[in-house]
């Protein structure tokens, strides 16, 4: 077999392994960032970095169970626009959502907040608001897919109770992702820790920072789990 014949045979074999290139579930569709248009992702490049399913508590003690958010963190070296990306929640219940069109891409190491309420604790920091967003209370699981419906990341579990945090009758505290270089699967409980500060971060709206304990749009609070591999590697 000469070199040309061998090259053709290798190309045919590669095509057979990859399947029909027109099927987005088989062949990755790689899109560069165009303003207002979705960009494709790579699995592991977009992390679910914080989940605040516990609701908010105002400084005068009023609890709102519906005031929730979760945060994406772009770990890819290029910007990614998440317009049209989808996520499914299937813990206490099952629901599917689509991220609406957004003009700005998420820069490398940038955050993106998906919140329910535009008049609550996270009104000042939310990038998009989905009025019927629910994340669950006892079992929390989120599955994120890009615009081609390819799995990017999941967080939480459908078989275990929420990994950490919640509402304790006084404070509502989020669960945050441990910063690990290797093995940082969002579906593993050891890769999450409790928000560890005594007050909520100042990206939370005024009037909610005393009892709503979370860090939307900024680096997670310190991890005191004792895992020597943890830390912030941005």
Quick: pLDDT tens for 132-159: 999 988 889 999 998 888 888 998 877 6
Cβ-contact 27, 16 below 8 angstroms: no
Instruction: Work out the pLDDT band at 78, boundaries 50, 70, 90.
Output: confident
Give the span between the Cα atoms of 12 and 15, in whole angstroms.
5
Question: What is the pLDDT confidence band of residue 48, given thresholds at 50, 70 and 90?
Answer: very high
Of residues 32 and 171, more confidence is placed in: 171
The side-by-side arrangement of strands in the sheet containing 128-129 is: 128-129, 111-115, 69-74, 46-52, 175-177, 192-194
13/139 Cα distance (integer angstroms): 44
Condensed to tens digits (0 to 9), the pLDDT of residues 120-129 reads 999 999 999 9
pLDDT of residue 21: 39
| 21-48 average pLDDT score | 64
Q: Considering the chain, what percentage of its residues have pLDDT values greater than 70?
A: 75
Query: Which carries the bigger pLDDT value, residue 91 or residue 26?
Result: 91
Provide the whole-model pTM. Answer: 0.79
When mean pLDDT is compared across 8-17, 25-34, 65-74, 201-210, the lowest value belongs to 8-17
Structure tokens at 170: 């006084």
More confident position, 80 or 216? 216
Top-confidence residue, 158 or 29: 158
pLDDT at residue 203, rounded to an integer: 97
- Between CA 215 and CA 89 the distance in angstroms is 21
pLDDT at position 183: 55
pLDDT band at 188 (very low <50, low <70, confident <90, very high): confident
Specify the pLDDT at position 18. Answer: 38
Which three-class secondary structure state does DSSP give residue 49?
strand
Four-point Cα dihedral 21, 48, 181, 39, nearest 10: 30
Output the CA angle 167-173-177, nearest 5 degrees. Answer: 130
Q: Does domain 7-213 have CATH number 2.60.40.1260?
A: yes
| Residue among 175, 210, 158, 145 at smallest CA distance from 71 | 175
pLDDT of residue 23: 44
pLDDT on residue 89: 94
pLDDT averaged over the chain? 81
pLDDT category at 20 given cuts 50, 70, 90 is: very low
Q: CA of 161: how far to CAs of 33, 70, 108, 167, 229, in Å?
A: 37, 17, 32, 14, 25
Task: Provide the pLDDT for residue 72.
Answer: 97
């Amino acid at each position: 077999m000469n070199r040309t014949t061998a090259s053709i045979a290798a190309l045919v074999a590669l095509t057979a392994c990859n399947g029909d290139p027109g099927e987005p579930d088989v062949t990755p569709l790689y899109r560069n960032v165009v303003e207002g248009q979705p960009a494709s992702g790579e699995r592991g490049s977009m992390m679910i970095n914080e989940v605040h399913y516990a609701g908010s508590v105002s400084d005068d003690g009023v609890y709102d169970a519906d005031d929730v958010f979760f945060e994406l963190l772009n770990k890819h070296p290029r910007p990614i626009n998440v317009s049209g990306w989808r996520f499914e929640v299937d813990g206490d219940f099952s629901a599917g959502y689509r991220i609406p069109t957004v003009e700005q891409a998420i820069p490398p190491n940038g955050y993106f907040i998906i919140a329910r309420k535009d008049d609550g604790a996270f009104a000042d920091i939310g990038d998009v608001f989905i009025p019927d967003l629910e994340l669950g209370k006892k079992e929390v699981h989120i599955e994120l897919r890009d615009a081609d419906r390819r799995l990017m990341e999941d967080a939480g579990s459908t078989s275990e109770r929420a990994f950490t945090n919640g509402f304790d009758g006084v404070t509502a505290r989020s669960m945050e992702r441990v910063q690990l270089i290797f093995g940082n699967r969002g579906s593993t409980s050891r890769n999450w820790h409790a928000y560890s500060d005594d007050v909520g971060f100042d990206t939370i709206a005024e009037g909610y920072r005393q009892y709503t304990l979370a860090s939307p749009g900024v680096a997670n609070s310190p991890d005191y789990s004792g895992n020597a591999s943890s830390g912030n590697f941005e």
